[in-house]
Amino acid sequence: MVPLIAVFLGILIGAVVMLLSGYNPIAGYSALLRGIFSDSYYIGETIRTMTPLILSGLAVAFAFRTGLFNIGVEGQVIVGWLASVYVGIAFELPKIIHLPMAILVGAIAGALWGFVPGLLKARFQVHEVIVTIMMNYIALYTANYLIRAYLLVPGERTETISPSASLASPFLESMTDYSRLHYGFIVAAIGCLVMWFLLWRTSKGYELRAVGFNQHASRYAGMNVERNIVLSMIISGSFAGVAGAMEGLGTYGYMSILSGFSGIGFDGIAVALLGANTAVGVVFASFLFGGLQIGALNMQSRAGVPTELIDIVIALIIFFVASSYIIRWVMNRIKKEGI
């Protein structure tokens, strides 16, 4: 109930902000809903936006489930994006080999970027939040340097990947009024299944969750805590790397020099929190965030509501999810009073 109440409160207070700003919240939200559900182009764009959010949300959720806070998903997304694009440019292979290899290399790049903070946490007890924050900046500026030094073409970006490494689908694009929808949503769905199966249907998943609950009890039970911490960050990073590959191989087909963070990794934190760190919850949360981001464009064009107001709504939702203790306290008081 807490995420649902957080969404409701975010939307409600967002309506109040619209009203105080001189906009009609009913017209604004109506335009948003029409944009999400009634226009095939916006439907395709919503699913396309959801795809990397699902995978970055899974990266954060997986780490949370194992007692870690991977705030470095953004950096892992960037290195996964660059690595997958490089493979898409550098090799000429049949699609059945080229595309899986590009996605796999993106996952490996993200995993390696997760390995470093995992190792420092396991061996030297260096807090993963500090290391992963710093590695976000290292990823951003390293990727920009490599593009400028070795991969740059006019337009401040890399070359376009080979068609054999592309997730683009002319069929899906034509079905959704030529949106940028691609086959990456299938990869995201597989990622959800992988996370669920690994955590809840394997002995290794049980170990990872046990270490997250109590490292001392896990060590007493004979589990290798240090190895499981490193493995958790590697798996979390691989999800984030695949999220970056979805952008490089699907949405854009190249990688530009980034003036700042893409936001995919940081949005993944909010998606994981709202989705209660479950695979199914992450899917619904990413649909909400993707729908709000794409529907905001329709709000602006049809109702004249600035897209920044949707950023306020998203921020309010995150605030109320983070303040879940207050919501639970109010719910418990209501139960006790019998209201």
Q: State the pLDDT at residue 339.
A: 55
Domain annotation covers residue 245: yes
3-state secondary structure of 233: helix
Query: Over the stretch 24-59, which tens digit does the pLDDT of each residue have?
Result: 899 888 888 887 777 788 899 999 999 999 999 999
Residue/partner pairs of 221-230 with CB below 8 Å, 24 or more apart: 225/122, 226/122, 226/123, 227/122, 228/66, 229/66, 229/68, 229/118, 229/121, 229/122, 230/115, 230/118, 230/119, 230/121, 230/122
Domain annotation covers residue 235: yes
Query: Which among 275, 242, 226 is positioned nearest to 119, based on CA atoms?
Result: 226
The whole model's pTM is what? 0.93
Q: State the pLDDT at residue 42.
A: 87
Low-confidence ranges of the chain (pLDDT < 50): none
Secondary structure element (H or E) that encloses residue 166, with its range = none
Query: Over the stretch 6-17, which tens digit does the pLDDT of each residue have?
Result: 888 889 999 999
Query: Over the stretch 151-170, which tens digit does the pLDDT of each residue have?
Result: 999 999 999 999 999 999 99
- Using only the alpha carbons of the chain, give its radius of gyration: 21
Q: What percent of the chain has pLDDT over 70?
A: 99
Domain annotation covers residue 149: yes
Domain annotation covers residue 302: no
CA distance 90 to 121: 35
CA distance 280 to 28: 29
Q: State the pLDDT at residue 137.
A: 97
Q: State the pLDDT at residue 175.
A: 93
Domain annotation covers residue 90: yes
Helix residue ranges per DSSP H, the chain:
2-20, 25-37, 40-65, 73-90, 95-124, 128-146, 170-175, 184-200, 203-213, 215-220, 225-246, 264-274, 279-298, 308-322, 324-337
CA distance 257 to 259: 7
Domain annotation covers residue 43: no
In sequence order, which residues have a C-beta less than 8 Å from that of residue 248 and are 6 or more positions away? 80, 81, 82, 84, 85, 88, 106, 161, 254, 255
Instruction: Please count the structural domains in the chain.
Output: 1
279-298 vs 2-20: helix crossing angle, rounded to 10: 10
Look up residue 83 and give its two tokens. Answer: 């690595």
Domain annotation covers residue 23: no
Look up residue 319 and give its two tokens. Answer: 């605030």
Domain annotation covers residue 3: no
Q: What residues make up the domain containing 168? A: 67-273
Q: List, in sequence order, every residue forming a beta bridge with 157; answer none if it has no partner.
A: 153, 256
Check: CB of residue 114 under 8 Å from CB of residue 131: no
CA distance 114 to 232: 9
